[in-house]
Amino acid sequence: MKQLDLLRRFVSGQKNLEKEFVEALLRNDVARSIELGKMLFSRSPMFLVTSLLVSFLDSPTDESKKNLFLKSLENATIKSNLIWMLYKRGLLVEDLHHYVQRIAFKDHMYYLVLKEACIHGHHGLLERGAIPECVEFLLDNLDDWDLYRYALDNGIDLRRRESLNHEYYLLHKLKERGRAIELLKSRLCFKEIEYIAEMVGLESHPQEATDCVVQLMRNGFGEDLLRRAYGVYAKDPSVFNIKMLIAVLVSARRAPLLGVALYLAFKHRRDHQGNYEVLLIFAFLCRYFCFYPHVLECLDSMGVKNAQVPNLSFIWSDILITKGIKDDTRRKGAINNIRGCMDDLDNSIRHFISGGNFAHVVDALELRRSLKESVILMELKESRIIGSNPNNSFRYLLGTWGSYLFEKMTVEKVPKGKGMFLTDFYVSGSCSLDEVLENGLCTIESEGFKAFFEEMVRYQESINK
């Protein structure tokens, strides 16, 4: 019994040390984590390897830290994703090559490792000849844009391949308008269309819907463009054409036309099963009109998962904070959700270490740090807008001219007074239901939308008292 009791105390002590080790990493106390890693070494060398890796990444030019980390790898199983993570940073390419040579299974990760070695100036390690031959060899196994970008930057002519990346390579290299026109026929992302059209100075496109996007990019809003866009949409209300018309309406920066955009998104929000783009645009329009309850309803209907909350919270929290709405249940719930994500990462880190997944440890630490330092988290805690960066992953969903609709609220754009919209920085004034109905573009007969708009106006009046 005494031996069993001693064993239990020993295991418990080890677990406590592991917990303390992770806590030291989380507070970036690298020196303490190294001490604890040494104490845990006899049971598992993985902890010391982890702490020495973090120490090296903090000071990659420090030779002593580099050598200590390399020495520690002798006691660990080296996985390809660790080498890839280091190679992506241009670190230890030659030092770790002997590990690469031992890789028996030439999978996708293996070629990613070789790619990073090549583009970081170590093509000789591939033993495939000069740089062009190395790039061709890698492209035979890896259709990766980084390699095409490297070829462009270094004036390398590549042989023909049937891939979208190769088409982009030729477009960048030759800048041929005919090639751009052909490529744009299959592009659905507005920002991508703008990028390609701008690259070759494209003035028009034979596909009407795509041409409307090109003309909007080149010239901004125009009444003729609006009527043309509506005609294209009326013939074929596809997701792309709905987005295109809404983009033109939003680009006008006029309250009544924003109301028409809201109507179109309301009308088509559930038309295309499995495609949430129109519903997402509808959510952002509701956000711009400060219709807080309906923004929440949209997000709920899209099935937003807990892990997505940190990135999507600003869609509703900007209204909550800017308009001074009291919803502590939602606000505290989001804070707890973000903290829960951090706790999940904390638990994962120990498992990653035990399994020797060092690259995952680094990713988890960086993600946790970004969550802890998140502007959205700080705004939710303090109930005030403090951010200065409007960027987010949705900003260019409707292209450049519609990007203001999706911007994260920033300090300089918080409205001084009370109004219909989230901010008066881009669109001032307001619009009535009659102004939206008498828009001169389309007939709005939907009783559902009329009731929706009137409910929205009543809600706005209640929060603007």
What does the alpha-carbon distance between residue 234 and residue 241 come to, in Å, rounded to a whole number? 9
SS3 content of the chain, % helix, strand, coil (to 5): 65, 0, 35
Ranges of the chain with pLDDT below 70: 1-14, 305-307
Q: Give the Cβ contact number of residue 350 at 10 Å.
A: 17
Other C-beta atoms within 10 Å of 163: how many? 14
pLDDT 10s digits, 57-113: 999 999 999 999 999 999 888 999 999 999 999 999 999 999 999 998 899 999 999
* Cβ 208 vs Cβ 232: under 8 Å: yes
Task: Name the phi and psi angles at 34, rounded to 5.
Answer: -65, -45
Number of Cβ atoms within 10 Å of the Cβ of 7: 10
Are the C-beta atoms of 417 and 399 separated by less than 8 Å? no
| Residue-level pLDDT at 302 | 86
In this prediction, residue 156 carries a pLDDT of 97
Record the tokens describing residue 461, joined without a space: 């009046």
> DSSP per residue over 92-111, as a string?
STTTTHHHHHT--S--HHHH
Residues contacting 219, CB < 8 A, separation 6+: 225
Dist. CA 404–CA 288, nearest whole Å: 10
Q: Which DSSP string corresponds to 130-183?
A: SHHHHHHHHHHH---HHHHHHHHHTT------SSHHHHHHHHHHH--HHHHHHH
pLDDT at 3 (0 to 100): 52
User: Of 286, 302, 258, 311, which Cα lies nearest the Cα of 431?
Assistant: 258
**Residue 306 confidence (pLDDT):** 60
Contact of 221 with 398, CB cutoff 8 Å:
no
Q: pTM to 2 decimals? A: 0.91
State pLDDT tens for residues 199-237. Answer: 999 999 999 999 999 999 999 999 999 999 999 999 999
Q: Do the Cβ atoms of 428 and 419 come closer than 8 Å?
A: yes
For tokens 């090559």, what's the residue? 97
User: What Cα–Cα distance (Å) separates residue 68 from each residue in 64, 72, 135?
Assistant: 6, 6, 33
Q: In the 8-state DSSP scheme, what is residue 412?
A: G
Domain ranges within the chain, ordered by starting residue: 78-174
Question: What pLDDT, on the 0 to 100 scale, is given for residue 412?
Answer: 95
Residue 71: CB atoms within 10 Å: 11
